[in-house]
Amino acid sequence: QVQLVQSGAEMKKPGASVRVSCKASGYTFGTSDINWVRQATGQGLEWMGWMNPDSGDASYARKFHGRLSMSTNTSITTAFMDLSSLTSEDTAIYYCSRGAWLELLDYWGQGTLVTVSS
Amino acid sequence: QSALTQPASVSGSPGQSVTISCTGTITTFTTYNLVSWYQHHPGKAPKLIISEANKRPSGISDRFSGSKSGATASLTISGLQAEDEAVYYCCSYADTDSFDKLFGGGTYLAVL
C-alpha cells in the first residue's frame, strides 16, 4: 500500500533553515509528483509546491519563491522540502502528499511540526 | 490569486444532513470536474473523501457525496455522526496547464 513517512518534529530559530523529508513506498516513486502542503497554527491548508522525481520539474507557490526548494533522491525514494529564512509565521505542520491527475492529492504523510522560536 | 470560497463553519445534529459549498472562478474549476474534498481532523493527515467532484475513493462511506454545477462544488454529509466533526477543504488546480493546487479556506463542521 502507498505510504508516505515524514521526518520528525523540528525546532528552529528565526533566520534558520529547515529540511523535512518524506519517504515514499508502495508505488513507483518517479511516476507521481510529490506536493508539499502546510497548516500554520489556526490557519487552513496552504499548498506550497510540487516536484516530479523523474523529470525534476517543480513549481512553487509565489509566496515562497526564493525561500523554498524541493528535491528528491530516487535511489531512496525520498523527497525533501527545504525552507530558509524562517520566521515565526513559518511555524506549522508540513505535509507531503502524492499528486494524482484526477484526485489532485491522494495519499498524505503524517505531517511534521516545525516550530520557529527564539 | 483566484480563490475557492467556503463557509467558515456549518453545524448539524447527529442523523441530519449538511452541505458545504465551494465557489470559485478559476477556469479549471468552473469548466472541469477536477475538484477534490478533504476531511481533516486535528493532529491527523488530511484524508481524500471525494475526487472528480463526485467520486468516492475506496473505503469512504457513502454518507459522503459530492456534486458540482458551474462555479460551485458541494459536499453533502448525510446521517451525521460525531466522528464527522472536522474541517473540510475543497481543492482544485490553480490554473489551466498547471499542476499547481489551490485550497478553499476550509469549513469547520460541528456535530451538535
- As a whole number, mean pLDDT of residues B77-88 equals 98
Give the number of A-B residue pairs with CB atoms closer than 8 Å. Answer: 69
Give tens-digit pLDDT for A4-20. 999 999 999 999 999 99
Give tens-digit pLDDT for A62-89. 999 899 999 999 999 999 999 999 999 9
pLDDT at A116: 98
Residues of A in contact with B93 (CB under 8 A): 104
Give tens-digit pLDDT for A22-32. 999 999 999 99
Q: Is residue B27 pLDDT above 90, yes or no?
A: no
Contact (CB<8Å) A45/B46 = yes
**Whole-angstrom distance, CA of residue A83 vs CA of residue A104:** 23
Strand partners, B71: none
Contact (CB<8Å) A99/B99 = yes
Residues 15-44 of chain B with CB under 8 A from chain A are 34, 36, 38, 40
Q: Which residues of B14-45 are buried (b: 16+ CB within 10 A; e: fewer)?
A: eeeebebebbbebebbbeebbbbbbbbeeeeb
Q: Quick count: other Cβ atoms within 10 Å of Cβ B6?
A: 25
**Whole-angstrom distance, CA of residue A96 vs CA of residue A82:** 12
Q: Is residue A57 pLDDT above 70, yes or no?
A: yes
| Probe site for chain B from A6, A39, A52, A104 (most B CB atoms < 10 A) | A104
Contact (CB<8Å) A104/B87 = no
**Whole-angstrom distance, CA of residue B41 vs CA of residue A59:** 28
A19 to chain B, any CB pair closer than 8 A? The answer is no
A84 to chain B, any CB pair closer than 8 A? The answer is no
Give tens-digit pLDDT for B36-77. 999 999 999 999 999 999 999 999 999 999 999 989 999 999
Contact (CB<8Å) A104/B57 = no
Residues of A in contact with B36 (CB under 8 A): 103-105
Residue B2's pLDDT band, with cuts at 50, 70 and 90, is: low
Which of B1, B45, B102 lies nearest to residue A108, judging by beta carbons?
A: B45
**Whole-angstrom distance, CA of residue B16 vs CA of residue B90:** 21
